[in-house]
Amino acid sequence: MLDKVLVATTNRGKLREFREIFSQYGIEIISLDDMEQKISVEEDRKTFLENAVKKAKTYGDFYNMPVIAEDAGLEVEALGGYPGVYSARFYSIDFGGKEEINRDKDEANINKLLRLLKDKKNRKARFVSIVVFYSPENTGIWTEGYCYGTIAEKPVGDKGFGYDPIFIPEGYNRTMAQLEPEEKNRISHRGKAVRKLIEILNKLSFQI
């Protein structure tokens, strides 16, 4: 029976969402901050899946326990899919020029994205989440989730993190950062990917 899983992240916003999603299943979610021995894994691959697999396998083998790793990001149509795998550090890459950090990295990423989209009519975008479950007994599963929407003209809301304040999901007139956690998890890329994962794990008799 699966009762404890390491979620390979130090991102507090992401960790909070994983705990909210898994809370109904009675599974204890621990993070990298909870581990006594610390290792780091560089996300240097070219796709979300490759990054997530690398993290899941490295942490799973090192700590000898089941691991869930995710790589996620925002893809903007008018920018050819950027920021994509560079979402967390978009402010620092050469594409579109680097952005100065005034308050934090999330704000710098948002400022750069809005600058590059200024005067563009096409503001279609999607959030992507690739979630990998890896057990040292060589069980590996991955799922994907998407949330489609548009980029707002300016940041609104304080409930989310990352690009949430400028992402308006399809069918909504509010940003992700204006949604309550339960509502966001129901429609989000991460929520969709995790629910698919849980369904597969149940079929494989992990008894979630």
Strand partners, 167: 151
* Whether 161 contacts 106, CB under 8 Å: yes
The token pair at 122 is 């096409």
Radius of gyration of the chain (CA): 17
Q: Is 119 designated active site?
A: no
Q: Residue 121: how many CB atoms within 10 A of its CB?
A: 6
The token pair at 13 is 């916003």
* Annotated active-site residue in 71, 106, 119, 158: 71
Left (φ > 0), alpha (ψ -120 to 50) or beta: where does 157 sit? Answer: left
CA–CA gap between residue 100 and residue 111 (Å, rounded): 9
| Residues involved in catalysis | 71
